[in-house]
Amino acid sequence: MKIALINENSQAAKNGIIFDALKTVAEPLGHTVFNYGMYGADDKASLTYVMNGLLAGILLNSKAADFVVTGCGTGMGAMLACNSMPGVFCGLVIDPTDAFLFGQINDGNAISMPYAKGFGWAAELNLQDVYRKLFDGERGLGYPKERAEIMAKNRGILKDLKAASCKDMLTVLKTIDQDLLKAAVAGEKFSEYFFANAQDEEIKAYIKGLVG
């Protein structure tokens, strides 16, 4: 699985801690982690939590990533921004129990975490435990197990509902503020990672025309 990490400006200084925790857990399990930044508070390309959501939408809908790990100070803003995008199902995850239940019940494709609120002593250990609950083993099995069938049915209903209520990602890209879009894809390693992994040719072509 291709996992994309996205951090926004207020918590960019913690990117290294978050990336190390994610890589430590995910890579031995056979996953690949792509760090889309921000890498530090002084990065030229500055991402807001709104841009986090937009970037998550681009990566997931183009299949450049299979899963997105993002967040902000409380995790709320990035979660809301992600869930405004077509095809993105993002949960607010604070601890390993949240991660386990989100993975088994909701089986979404993105999580948002608080990187300021409650981010204290041994925070990196909590991150590792969260990622382990998310990425070690099969997701979507249901919890409790006897409710697995109805949970899977509800996930399908939610997916259909979102498809009906959202525009497709290419239409979103064409109709949103183009300066906002350019800023969201201006990261230092965006082009390197995105064009090597994206599978949707129309989204790739549109972004290519935007960044040159």
Q: For residue range 120-168, what is the model confidence (pLDDT) as tens digits?
A: 999 999 999 999 999 999 999 999 999 999 999 999 999 999 999 999 9
Helix axes 201-211, 49-61, angle to 10 degrees: 130
Neighbours of 209 (CB within 10 A): 8
Report the distance separating Cα 185 and Cα 29, nearest Å: 29
Q: Tens of pLDDT along 23-74?
A: 999 999 999 999 999 999 999 999 999 999 999 999 999 999 999 999 999 9
Cβ partners under 8 Å of residue 5, min gap 6:
15, 18, 19, 22, 33, 34, 35, 36, 68, 69, 70
Residue 190 one-letter amino acid: F
Query: Tell me: the pLDDT tens digits for 107-132?
Result: 999 999 999 999 999 999 999 999 99
Query: Which pLDDT value is given to residue 13?
Result: 96
Question: Fold for domain 2-211?
Answer: Ribose 5-phosphate Isomerase B; Chain: A, (3.40.1400)
pTM above 0.95, yes or no: yes
Neighbours of 173 (CB within 10 A): 22
Is the peptide bond preceding residue 38 cis, with omega within 30 degrees of 0? yes
Residue 212 pLDDT grade (very low, low, confident, very high; cuts 50, 70, 90): confident
Q: Which of 54, 135, 51, 133 is nearest to 87 (CA)?
A: 54
* C-alpha to C-alpha distance for 74 and 94, rounded to whole angstroms: 9
Output the pLDDT for position 198: 98
